[in-house]
Structure 1
Amino acid sequence: MLPLRYKLSNCFIPNNSPEICPLKEFLDKSKCCNIEQSFMLSGIVPEMLLLKRSMKGGLQSDVYENEKNILLELKQLWGFQKLWDSNSSHCSWYAIGCRNGSVTSISIQGNLLSGTISPIICELKSLQLIDLSSNYSRGEFPSSLYNCSKLEYLDISWNQFHGPLPSDLHRLSRLIHLDIAGNNFSNIPGAIGQLSELQYLSLKFNNFNTWIPQEIGNLSKLETLDISYIDSFKQATIPEELGRLKKLTSLFIVQSNLIGEIPEIFSALSGLEVLDLSSNYLKGSIPSYLFEWKKLTNLHLEFNQFSGMLPMLDANMELMGRTEEMLSNLSGLQFLDLSGNHLNGSIPSYLFHWKNLTSLLLGNNQFSGNLPSITGNLRLRTLDLSSNQLSGHIPQEYDKKEYYFRNNLNLCSKYTNHYIQVPRCSGKTRVVIAVVAPVALLVMVTLLCYTFKNNWTFSTDQLMQRKKRHENQDPEWMFISFQQLGFTESEILVNMTEENLIGSGGCGKVYRVGVNPNGNFVAVKRILNKRNLDHGLEKQFLAEVEVLGSIRHSNIVKLLCCISSGNSKVLVYEYMENQSLDKWLHHKRRSEIAITASAHCVLEWRTRLQIAIDAA
């Protein structure tokens, strides 16, 4: 065995190697010798190995202090208010994640950070995740992030970035997750299709003036794609290139000026779990394969221009000799919304056989005929068939609180929950209506004339003053509806008066507003802004409202619509007669919330337990 000094003499070790890299890395890359193996073979006390470890520890200590100083500098540049104590380990700081003592993630969401993203952030050599969403960062896309060589996750959504996305965006080659939603970027470069590792891409709520590039079809690993709420898009058809994204599980292209039909190549996307193409101008028939995908759980095609009949899958099943059990397992859909289209014909019975379906929304179409019978273990909790042309009587199995049938002129019901929405069935219903209607109309006209003459609450001058006051306060309103409504924007705004006020707080006021002659009410919450919201916060508010409006659950109060202006926001909810659950549970000012005598009852333990179960 050769002596140790001979072994080392055959290796060239630069004097400055510790500054270049840790000694272990340098020695591991050396081609001329293996020092640790020499120690083991020779039995010599490994003094050099001890030196190596000592130098490694020193280098790690230097890196540790350097990263702490970088973070403190970033804190100063961003105006970050959270306490980062220089006397404590930076790996224990808020929003910082570490592995083996090195910073791997920075996640500072909604902390009012301002300014640009400094290039020094990439001096954190192990950084893999950056989440600076919902702040006030501005400027063009931070191309200095190209120097973050290990970056895999980037979220700069809901900030104030602007300008074109860079044509060399593909230099972020390791990205798995990219979210730039809620900014003011102006184009989507073809280079985005070269981010070959990308699995999540959100581009929604931007001001793109160019359409989706063809290269996006090259993202073979993409699982989630969101290109929603881009009103600046010119009208265009769905890119067929999207049909090449075979690993896609979630696709959102909401309110982005889509026209034409759903392309046939979409049939290849059988792995989709969520598909939302709502609020566009799509037309034609709804492809049958959408109802046959096993993995698809949520399908949103509402507020488009689809027409014709729904696919007759049950007829095809009969021809193929399949059983009812097979029909119930045909689709994995849990939520189906086709409302606000031009669909017609009868409602297919197979929709009421799908065992997984919990919400079915077909309102505001042209469906006709009788309601199909419900059989099997149907889990359908929410059903909206309002504003169609359905006829006949509502079967008993449809007698549920969250089933809606209003505005179907030839539909009647024998059961409790539908008295308000449709006429009550009777063998002599049509004869009675024919006789009573003219008499009732005459009586109504007489009463109206009498009331107008003697008891009219508001004079013409008072109405004009109210209108003038309203116009002076909020000259421009934007109206966004989430349900089929039986009232207009003006009906809500003109009735937000002191006599309809039922509550107030630090954020605004709540009104109880009647919306039709049947005695139906809505709860109107007006949120006053001390100043106009900037463009970014306005878009964020609308996005969050859009999410609230899409929720369908029997234990959650429905948000019906949003009316927005520069200095106030109006949220219209369905009115709950018994008001706040908090007040019921904690006996807060019970007399003030009691509108009916039943409001004075104390909730029993069994009732409280059921409330807890339903809330969970």
Structure 2
Amino acid sequence: MKPPSPPPHLLSIFLLLLTSTITSQQFSTNEQTTLLNLKQAWDNPPSLSHWTSTSSPCTWPEILCSNASVTGLDLQSKGLIGYIPPFICDLQNLQILHMHDNFITGEFPRVFYNCTNLIELDISQNMFVGALPDDIHRLSVLKTAEFGGNNFTGDIPPAIGNISSLKSLMLYQNLFNGTIPPAIGNLTDLETLGLAYNEFSDPVIPYEFGKLNSLKVLWMPACNLAGEIPKSLINLVNLELLDLSLNFLEGEIPHELFLLQSLNHMYLYKNNLSGELPAVIQSPNLTQIDISMNRLTGIVPDDIGKLKKLEVLNLYSNQFSGEIPKSIAQIKTLRVFKVFRNSFTGELPMEFGMHSKLEVFEVSDNQFTGNLPVNMCAGGVLTGVIAFSNRLTGELPKTLESCDRANSIQLYDNKFTGEIPSGIWTLSNISSLRLSGNSFSGELPSKVAWNLSRLEISDNKFSGRIPEGISSWGKLNVFKASNNMFSGEIPVDITSLSELTVLYLDGNSLSGELPSEFKSWNSLTVLNLSRNKLSGQIPSSLGSLQDLLELDLSENQLSGQIPSQLGTLRLTSLNLSSNKLTGRIPSSFDNMAYQNSFLNNPDICSDSHISNLQNCHPKNSHSKKFSPKIIAMIVVLSVFVLLAAVLFALFVFRDYQKRKPKRIRTTWKLTSFHKMDFTERNILSCMTEANVIGTGGAGKVYRIAVGPPRGYVAVKRIWSNKKLDQSQENEFTSEVQILGSIRHSNIVKLLCCLSSQNSKLLVYEFLVHQSLDKWLHGKKRKPEPGLVPGFVLDWPRRLQIATGAAQGLCYMHHDCSPPIVHRDVKSSNILLDSEFNAKIADFGLAKILEKPKPGEGGVSSVVGSLGYFAPEYAYTTRINERIDVYSFGVVLLELVTGREPNEGDKDLNLAEWAWKYYGESDSVTGALDPEINGYTEEMSTVFKLGLICTSTLPSSRPSMKDVLEILRRCDPLDQLPEEMKQGREEFDVAPLLKRETYITSYQETEDIF
């Protein structure tokens, strides 16, 4: 949402003062001296270089003059550093003081009490700390108080309710954690109240707020609110914006609140109001309603349709049921309609788009039935049709062909039938078309949209041949067409799709031989052609697909030998079963990990006695028959040799026993944390150098084959020839303690641990794509086996990885009790699974935060990795979550720039270089990874987020919860998991980078989210 605009009376005051500017001859010399002293006290910022003794302050653009005196100072975004000097109120007629967006520190300046004429005070977006003073009411004539975006803590003082002249009170984005004072209800002239993004301990909205009869803006998202909205709020008849979002309110939507007079913006999360409305309440003017991301239940009142000026209706991520009122679709101003992730039923109103220009239409994850509305694109501005996971039926309306602005159509998991209107395939902006899980029919077109990158049509009834013109689908990245009725040969042209990474054509009726060359499939990671009628031999050129991780050619009619070239691939999944293959299994696959990959091939054999396969060794020929006398001689001679060998062995063994040192038999203790599908012997027998995949300060990491269904595990070994020293023991204990007790999809899973007297083994799930740093920086280093070039990671994947890693850290910081600090966040400790989902790994340096005992400071030894250190960690060794935020900020900078953590200019590391670049350049575009095309706006935002996270002042860094929220908002909607599709808006982080202050959220002004 956009924040409230300044009250009109403030602009009037500014214009009045500007028209009263005086000449230099009339200006007070004392006040000029005061201004020059202020400049000096703030370290002579370059932005005030024009403040000189030779010019009149009334000519300075920051000064407002009236009646031969300074009446206003506009010092917004001037880079001011330091404190508020005590002599600032020597400007005795000062009425307006704007200091927004600077680096002013210290506690709330009581010196302002001496500015007896001060009516407008804006010190927001600075670095103030401590509590607001209990005698703040001494600012008795103040009309505007802007204190947001600082580090104020504790309670909001009740005395603030005694400043009866206040018209605007903004306390958003601080660290207030006390109660919301009911005394604020005494401010009967108050028009704007902003308490957003503070975690108040008392979650109840004061009943006394109902007395704020002049209030136009009540802005309280993310305030930890619970309970009910007080019925007294029905008296706020002048209200224009009500935002109670991102709280824990619950209940049904009361009909009455939609009839408040003169409402322009309304954001509600819980409503249990009752009673009759005053007679004056009529003609509602609401333009936005956002009651999303809560626990609301019940039906949507039909009265919403009476809001004739409504533009935005967001009801998503709740527990609503019932039908959507038809009256909503008749609102002529409606632009945005989001109701996904609820339990709505019934048919969608057919009039959607008929009366208004819809821009966003998202109804996924409900139980809607019937057809899609025909006129959704009638306005020509619809950007997406998101209606997956419902029970919608019928054919797609041909009018969807006019959705030229749509970039994503997601209709999967419904019951649609018929053919796809031909114009949908070539929509000028479509990049994602996801239609799986329906009953669509017809053939694929030879031409699709130029930028179509994701096409999913599995589990339908498409038929015919895959078109020869598929080579023109040049941007295709993911093509899933499983379980249809495609026939004919696989066209050779499909191998020219150079950006293809995932191809599923399984479960069709494709025939003929496989293409013989795959030169352009440099990025392909998944190839599934199973359950078709393919014949001929497996091309040896498949071995050139070095990025390939999953290969499934099962249930076809393939013949001949398995090409040895396939053995060069580092496949995590291979299935060639149910074919007509012959000969030996390549040695790379002749082990238990692939024992089910070759079933139902009668003429295939194994050298290692894999179960269900015949042995390749030829049977012994029949021995030549000897006479009984010769056989007897052979037996006697054999017995004699055997006895001699036994006696000699006993003699040698006795002598050896006398000389050998005493040895202690190694015993292993196994502790499991998950259900085991392998044994201790599987692990210990494979701890060889051939299986080493990584080496670090804590020891070596092995990839161990344990057979299906798991395939592989990763084993981290901490080894010593003598008893483990205390640091190794602590490292082992820490990792087991943390990973054995937490469960999260973005944290690597510890399966079990094995320990002996001098060795520790940690057994993890194996992640096939290994670590992020290899994908980002691998090509700059000495090649490693299986290393994948960094260019494979396009921006959507990088953003997916950043979001996943942030989710893992957010869980550690905010959902674990006590919180967990990783202390070594870096790209090499972010592992990737087959879908590029990120998982935080290597907790050997992690520490559970305990509250220090009285007199203790929570000091710990300095650990971590060069380039990722938070500055304060190196000299204070104080452990808190902010050091992880700093390190994660470096990872974000790696993702957007492609540089390594110590790859800056000269002696600068990446974070220092990024800050220097930002300060010296008008645009961050030049700092972005040149290998990524497009996505400039999103990458620039993440670059700036990386800067904020790597701020030198710990309190200036956001929490991981806030970092995660921003990353979720960057994600293209069609790439986001459903739990992340919340509150996606346009935003700009640039204003945050000119200061260092704690950020608790990023929905604060028009310039910030």
TM range (shorter): 0.5 to 0.7
Residue equivalent to 2:321: 344
Residue equivalent to 1:490: 838
Distance 1:357 1:199 in 2: 32
Distance 2:146 2:409 in 1: 46
SS at match of 1:426: strand
Would you say the 8 A contact 2:63–2:74 is kept in 1? yes
SS at match of 1:257: coil
Instruction: Confirm or deny that 1:365 pairs with 2:342.
Output: yes
**How far does residue 135 in structure 1 lie from its aligned partner after superposition?**
1.1
**How far does residue 358 in structure 1 lie from its aligned partner after superposition?**
2.6
| C-alpha spacing 1:434/1:336, structure 2 compared with 1 (3 Å) | closer
Distance 1:456 1:266 in 2: 66
Would you say the 8 A contact 1:511–1:524 is kept in 2? no
Tell me which amino acid in the other structure corresponds to 1:538: R
Aligned residues: 476
Distance 2:216 2:967 in 1: 19
Residue equivalent to 1:300: 290
Instruction: Confirm or deny that 1:312 pairs with 2:617.
Output: no
Would you say the 8 A contact 1:172–1:195 is kept in 2? yes
**How far does residue 410 in structure 1 lie from its aligned partner after superposition?**
1.9
**How far does residue 273 in structure 1 lie from its aligned partner after superposition?**
1.4
Distance 1:539 1:270 in 2: 37
Tell me which amino acid in the other structure corresponds to 2:60: W
Instruction: Confirm or deny that 1:221 pairs with 2:189.
Output: yes
Would you say the 8 A contact 2:897–2:927 is kept in 1? no
Residue equivalent to 2:204: 237
Distance 2:836 2:342 in 1: 20
Q: Which runs of 5+ in 2 are unaligned?
A: 1-23, 261-283, 420-437, 442-458, 463-481, 485-504, 509-527, 532-549, 555-565, 573-690, 695-767, 778-800, 811-834, 841-887, 899-922, 974-983, 993-1009
Would you say the 8 A contact 1:138–1:161 is kept in 2? yes
| C-alpha spacing 1:513/1:292, structure 2 compared with 1 (3 Å) | farther
Of 360, 365, 375 in structure 2, the residue corresponding to residue 397 of structure 1 is 375
- Matches for 1:179-194 after TM superposition, within 5 Å: 179-186=146-153, 187-194=155-162
Residue equivalent to 1:449: 551
SS at match of 1:205: coil
Distance 2:896 2:968 in 1: 28
SS at match of 1:248: coil
Of 65, 71, 84 in structure 2, the residue corresponding to residue 98 of structure 1 is 65
Instruction: Confirm or deny that 1:281 pairs with 2:248.
Output: yes
Distance 1:273 1:207 in 2: 27
**How far does residue 547 in structure 1 lie from its aligned partner after superposition?**
13
Of 195, 199, 203 in structure 1, the residue corresponding to residue 167 of structure 2 is 199
Residue equivalent to 2:264: none
**How far does residue 95 in structure 1 lie from its aligned partner after superposition?**
1.1
| C-alpha spacing 1:536/1:106, structure 2 compared with 1 (3 Å) | farther
Residue equivalent to 2:366: 388
SS at match of 1:130: strand
Would you say the 8 A contact 1:386–1:404 is kept in 2? no
**How far does residue 179 in structure 1 lie from its aligned partner after superposition?**
0.8
| C-alpha spacing 1:279/1:96, structure 2 compared with 1 (3 Å) | same
Q: What RMSD, in angstroms, separates the aligned Cα atoms of the two structures?
A: 4.7
Residue equivalent to 1:421: 410
SS at match of 1:228: coil
Residue equivalent to 1:409: 390
Distance 1:397 1:64 in 2: 68
| C-alpha spacing 1:203/1:561, structure 2 compared with 1 (3 Å) | closer
**How far does residue 381 in structure 1 lie from its aligned partner after superposition?**
3.0
Residue equivalent to 1:74: 38
| C-alpha spacing 1:531/1:282, structure 2 compared with 1 (3 Å) | closer
**How far does residue 471 in structure 1 lie from its aligned partner after superposition?**
12
Q: What fraction of aligned residue pairs are identical, expressed as a percent?
A: 30
SS at match of 1:191: helix
| C-alpha spacing 1:496/1:404, structure 2 compared with 1 (3 Å) | farther
Deviations 1:488-536 (A, max 9, x none): 97399999999998x984444377699xxxxx99965541549435356
TM-score, with structure 1 as normaliser: 0.66
**How far does residue 260 in structure 1 lie from its aligned partner after superposition?**
1.7
| Structure with greater helix share of residues | 1
**How far does residue 466 in structure 1 lie from its aligned partner after superposition?**
2.1
Would you say the 8 A contact 1:387–1:405 is kept in 2? no
Residue equivalent to 2:123: 156
TM-score, with structure 2 as normaliser: 0.42
SS at match of 1:258: coil
Residue equivalent to 2:74: 107
- Matches for 1:547-562 after TM superposition, within 5 Å: 549=969
| C-alpha spacing 1:508/1:532, structure 2 compared with 1 (3 Å) | farther
Q: Which runs of 5+ in 1 are unaligned?
A: 1-59, 315-326, 481-486, 515-519, 565-616
| C-alpha spacing 1:522/1:488, structure 2 compared with 1 (3 Å) | farther
Tell me which amino acid in the other structure corresponds to 2:69: S
Bigger radius of gyration, 1 or 2?
Answer: 2
Residue equivalent to 2:135: 168
Would you say the 8 A contact 1:109–1:132 is kept in 2? yes
Distance 1:386 1:560 in 2: 25
SS at match of 1:449: strand
Tell me which amino acid in the other structure corresponds to 1:73: N
Distance 2:64 2:959 in 1: 27
Would you say the 8 A contact 2:386–2:409 is kept in 1? no
Deviations 1:401-429 (A, max 9, x none): 32432323323533345884115842696
Distance 1:457 1:523 in 2: 33
Would you say the 8 A contact 1:102–1:126 is kept in 2? yes
Deviations 1:126-166 (A, max 9, x none): 11111111111111111111111110100111111111111
| C-alpha spacing 1:379/1:101, structure 2 compared with 1 (3 Å) | farther
Distance 2:342 2:71 in 1: 52
